Amino acid sequence: MKHTGGCLCGDVRFEVEGEPSMVGLCHCRYCQLRTGSAFGISIYFPTTKINVISGRFDKYAYDTSSGGKVVVDRCKTCGTSLFWELKLEKLRGLKGTAGGSYDPPTFWYKIEHEVFARSKANFCTIDVPVSYTTSFTSLPVKHEEPRLIGG
85 Cβ contact partners less than 8 Å away, ≥ 6 residues apart: 47, 70, 71, 91, 94, 95, 96
Greatest Cα-to-Cα distance within the chain, rounded to the nearest angstrom = 43
Among 9, 124, 126, 130, binds Zn ion (CB under 5 A): 9
Q: Using the rule CB under 5 A, is 121 a contact of Zn ion? A: no
Among 4, 37, 69, 78, binds Zn ion (CB under 5 A): 78
Among 16, 25, 28, 88, binds Zn ion (CB under 5 A): 28
Q: Which stretch binds Zn ion (CB under 5 A): 15-23, 30-38, 65-73, 102-110?
A: 30-38
Q: Closest distance between Zn ion and the C-beta of residue 59, in Å?
A: 15
Asked if 144 and 67 count as a contact pair (C-beta separation under 8 A), the reply is no
Q: Using the rule CB under 5 A, is 41 a contact of Zn ion? A: no
Give the C-alpha separation, 112 to 123, whole Å. Answer: 20
Specify burial of residue 11 (Cβ count, 10 A radius: 0-12, 13-18, 19+).
middle
The residues binding Zn ion (CB under 5 A) are 7, 9, 11, 26, 28, 31, 40, 75, 77-78
